[in-house]
Every structure is written in C-alpha cells, then in structure tokens.
Structure 1
C-alpha cells in the first residue's frame, strides 16, 4: 500500500473535518465517543483474553491458587482498560488538538502526537508486564526504521547481515544474562531462553558444568524441548485457522514447517554444547563462555531468519546493560526512560500503521485491528479515499 507523505497529507487533509479522518461512523465528536469507546473495550477484551489465557496456562498448577487467580483477573482487567483507553483516546486527543490549532489537522497531530500522549496509559500495566511491552514496541520501531532505510536504499538488510546481527546479539545477551544471574535486581526480558547460572567451583563439586548430571542428555533434552516449542508454534499458526477441516489442514504440512523447531532446538543445543565443552576444557565455568557459545548458537538463525529476532537480541542486551548503568547510578532512577521510550514508540508505530503501511511491521497492523475491533480499517479507508479524491 502506498505511503502518504507529509506534503501529500498537509495539502489534502489539513482542512478536512475531523469526522472524515478520525471518526467516520458519526459526524459529531461527542456522539462518536460512545461507539468508539465501546468497540475499543470489546476489541481490547478479546485481544488480551487470549494473551493472558496463554500466559496463565504456562504457569501450570500454580494458577489454581486463589492469590494467583485474583492476580490474573486483576492483570487482565488492567490490560483491557489500557488497550481500550489507548484505542479510544486517539480520536479524542486528535480532535482536541485539531480544535486548539484552529480546526487544522497536520501530518504530526493526526496519529503521531495523540498516540504519544496516550502512551502514558502504559502505567496501568503492572511493572512485571510493562517492561516486556516496552521491549516489544522498541523492537518493532527499530524493525520499522530498518525496513524504511532498506527500502530507500540507505543500506540493504540481507539474511547474512541479519544472521551476523543475531550472532552478536546472542553472544552479548547470554553473557549479560549470566552476569546478572547473581545480582539481586532481575531484568524482565522478552526472550525464549534463560541460560544457566555460572557454577562456582568448590571442593565438593562433582562437575564443572552449570547443570546436574551428564552433558549429553542435558544437551539433547534442551534441543528436544525447544524443538517441540518451535514446532508447536508453527502448528498453531498453520492448523489453528483450519481446525474445522483437520485432514485438509494436515495435508498442508511441508518440510519447511520444521524450520522454527530446528531454529529453537539447535539454538539451545549448540549453546549448551559449547558451554559444556569450554567448562570441561578449562576445568571451571565462567560467564565469558557465553560469548563464543551465544555467537555460535546464533548460526541456527539461518533455519528461520527473522529481522524481529535479530533486533530483539541486540535490544535485550542493551536493556541488560542499562540495568547495570542504573545500579551504578550512571542513569538516575527518577527518569522514567522506559515510559518515555514506550510513548515515542507507540506514536511512531501507529503513525506508520496509517501513513506508511508498506514499512509497518505486520504485528502492529494485527494489533490495531484487534484492539480497535476493526475501526482502524474504516479510518484508513476514509483517509485514503480522501487523499485519492483530492489527488
């Protein structure tokens, strides 16, 4: 889909009534709030129900405790309110800003600034979830900018470069995770694997490796477990939409559907194998071993290249390093950097969703469509119809 530049938007949409571009379902701003907030609440409730259900199921029997059930209900309610307010207030803030500017709508006040402002609602999420959401949105912004620069010819992001990025990111990430394992401050990370703590050498130690028992079963167990997780994700994606016709769905399976499983399984298997080899070679464990182990494990990225994974490895490492800077008081605790990052990221991503869709990550499109309960498509269609009619 063609992007809408600043010049194109300002020349065609500056004086257009807000109901055309912000709430096409009703002519008047106040009257449009009822369907806007209602649909936002419904869409947000549906979207977060699936996410929270999966997260709670992963807790196993622990979720059956009364305290955990109460916490699960509270967290779901907070997430639903967060999504509904972000979706609903986008139009509210944009209409308000438009009136303050003399009934003029600009390229930046249409989606970007309103969604930077309502990003403050991230504070509704509990701190344990907030950090992961910020990580996700920062990763998506970097992915969006990378796609934009690639399309404009500033640089080409080949599979080889993505693999190298993932190898470096994995090495730094695993090293910093092992360093942090002995720290009192734990950083929540959006990552698929947590490496074992460094085993301190003692006289009673029967092994120098960071695990109990023989190495081969430990390595094989890691490979099989994460192969199963990766393959399971693929099956959900392939078979989920076709559950009504299971035989037809199974006939769609191909060898390429093993890619995610091979990526996850070999990633963990190679990492553990290198760690065990270095521990036995040197007779002791060290956090430094994570550097070559993570780097070599990153070669598994070639099974399932993904720009998002490559970026996430580097941003995860940066987040862990920033925790070290906080502990050393280099970054003051009274600056809410994570909230500021989220507000900027949300504004940029939702701005890209409507005005630069060709570079916008697919997850953002699905997110806005789900949380707005389809209102985003109505707004986008009205916007493009307006630009097309004037052009």
Structure 2
C-alpha cells in the first residue's frame, strides 16, 4: 500500500476535489450516499464481524450456557452491532463534514477529524466493552507509534532493544501490581493476562502454571486466527480452519506466555529464598527476568498492552472521579485514539496495526479499502 506524503497530498489534493469525488461520485447528496453505503455493506459486515467474536466467546464460555447468559450475549451483540453501524455512519459522514466545514481536505485532518467524530459511537456499545475498546485502541496507538518509528527509521529495529524495552516495562508492571496488592487495592480490569500470585511454591503448582499459560496463549492466538476465518466464511475451507487452530504462531505465542510464567515464578522463588531484598524488589527483578520470554516471538502488541496497563494503573491511582467523569475520560481516550488510527490508516496503511486494518476491511466489506484505492488511483498516482 502507498504511503501518502504531505508534499504529494498538498500538490495533488486541491480544493476542487470534494467528498463527492472520493466517497460518493454517483450523487451529490452526502447523507443519502453514506447511509446507502452503510445499509448495503456495513450493516451486514458489522453483524458478521461481531457475530464471529461472540461465537468464539460462547465457545470459550460453554460451561456458563443458560437462558440468562444467552440473553446477555444477544443483548451485547445487538449493542455492539449498533456501535459498529454508528461507527461506520459517523466515519463516512465525518469525511463529508470535514470537507464542507474546511472547504478542502487537509493532510493532518483528512482521517483524524472523521475518526475523532466516529469515536462518539462508543456510547452505543455495552458498558462492559466500553473500557475494553478504549484500552484496545490505546494499545493499537502505541503499536502504530512503534511501527512508524521503525518504518521511517527514526529508531532502527532491534529484537534485543525491543526485548529490553519489554523487560523494563514488565518489571515496572509487576512491581505496581504487587504494590497495590500489598495495600489491599483492587487492580482495575485490564488487557494484561499475567498476574503474580502469592501461593506457596511447589513443583506441581509451578508446572501447572506453566501449562496453564501456554494453553492460554495458544488458545488466544487460535481464537484470533479463527475470527478472521469465520468472518470470511464463504471463502474459507476446512483446511483454513485447521490451519487457523494448528500452526506455529499459536505454539510460539503459547511458549511466550508459558516461558513468562516459568521465568517469573522460578526467579521469584529463588529471590525469596535468598532473603536479600524486599518483596516488591523481588517481584520487580522477577518481572525483568520474565521479560526475556519476549525474545521467543517478539510481538509489538504484547509490549503495547504492558505499556498501556502500566499507564492505566498509574492513572487509576491518581485519578478520582464520579462515574460520569470516568466515562468522559474513557470516551476522550477512545475518540483521540480512533482519530490517530484512522489518520494512520489513510496516510500510512503499511504501518497501521493489522487488527485495525482488518477490522475496517471486514466490518465495511472493503468499503474503506475502495475509498482509499479511489483516492490513490484517481488523484495520487504518480
């Protein structure tokens, strides 16, 4: 995919190129055109996207199946569907609104302002998923930042450097979690998976924990691959389903989590036996050593999640407010994150996180891709 430079954009995208030219060349009516696009493509695309996610959720929580639980899942699916459809509608109308207000497209606002406006759609999402989406989008922004730094060679990529970064963040995260635990403070819901326990160390519990986290890592990566296959069900075959569940990437991700648990628990046990440091220091050192597991399969997403979790817990400690002020904070984080990501998707899609690109592609049934290619082929092809 083409990276659009500011020089090329300012040269080619003049004031006579309107939203009609890029979004809806068949009609002048912005609202009618965008609502038609949402109804014909995004409406069904969003439903398929979320139906696949909730299907995986049902499969992983099959022991909870009951009438009450099924009603809850259906309600959440419908809320998520409304959220997704409103997201698409606000994005498309946001592009038109951006042009009509400013009179032209500007390089730094072409994706950011529509993305910012589309963030309001989070109000339609169910309460459980609002915080989750805000955290997920924040991690995607960190991932996008690192990818841009690497791609434009502001920082040269190094597996060793990235592993060291994760080791430092892991150390800080484990320290903060244990410190809150000692104070009797609750850890807020996060995307981070591993939490250090204070159980008595035995060989059986040690091996059980390693196996548990290996299985968790394997299962999570399998579910992620499976979602993509389920969404493209018509193009999928049994061979693709088989490959989604049984592949080397799933095993490696399982090994990362399993090794993290093994290194953390093992080194913490040795530090505690030596009685050299305080408990929080032992946990911080163990977290640093456990971060070596990142080297098995460097994944920017894990580093991003760990970084966002540290920021989240620190904000939780220092931010006190009512439910309404917390909702405003969640909304603002999501809106600005979405603005940054949507801008990244249009200006430099090669550095945009794959999850975000695939989500837009699947949920809009390639409508966003069509708009992007129309812009490139018609106006920006050199």
TM-based fold match above 0.5: yes
CA offset digits 1:346-379 (Å, max 9, x no partner): 0111111122112212111101101212101110
On the 8 A contact 1:3/1:357 being kept in 2, the answer is: yes
Cα offset, 1:317, TM superposition? 0.9
Q: CA RMSD in A?
A: 3.1
Match of 2:216 in 1: 229
Match of 1:41 in 2: 43
Alpha-carbon distance in 2 for matches of 1:25, 1:375? 15
CA offset digits 1:253-312 (Å, max 9, x no partner): 56x763222111111121122233334444999344321111111111111111221122
Alpha-carbon distance in 2 for matches of 1:125, 1:43? 17
Written as runs of structure 1 = structure 2, the 5 A alignment for 1:205-354 is 210-211=198-199, 215-233=202-220, 244-245=238-239, 258-282=251-275, 286-327=279-320, 333=325, 336-354=328-346
TM-score under structure 2 length normalisation: 0.85
Matched, 1:75 2:67: no
Alpha-carbon distance in 2 for matches of 1:19, 1:155? 39
Q: Point out the more displaced range, 117-126 or 377-386.
A: 117-126
When Rg is computed on C-alpha atoms for both structures, the one with the higher figure is: 1
Cα offset, 1:159, TM superposition? 0.8
On the 8 A contact 2:49/2:362 being kept in 1, the answer is: yes
Structure 1 consecutive aligned stretches of length 4 or more whose deviation exceeds 4 Å: 24-27, 182-185, 233-243, 246-250, 332-335
Match of 1:54 in 2: 56
Alpha-carbon distance in 1 for matches of 2:160, 2:9? 37
CA offset digits 1:69-123 (Å, max 9, x no partner): 3332222222111111111221212212322334x23324432101102212223
Alpha-carbon distance in 2 for matches of 1:3, 1:69? 45
Alpha-carbon distance in 2 for matches of 1:312, 1:119? 20
Cα offset, 1:174, TM superposition? 1.9
Equivalent position SS for 1:245: helix
TM-score under structure 1 length normalisation: 0.84
Q: Point out the more displaced range, 223-232 or 369-378.
A: 223-232
Matched, 1:358 2:358: no
Alpha-carbon distance in 2 for matches of 1:367, 1:246? 19
The count of residues paired between Structure 1 and Structure 2 equals 369
- Structure 2: which 5+ runs fail to align? 230-235
Equivalent position SS for 2:351: coil
Whose helix fraction is larger, Structure 1's or Structure 2's?
Answer: 2
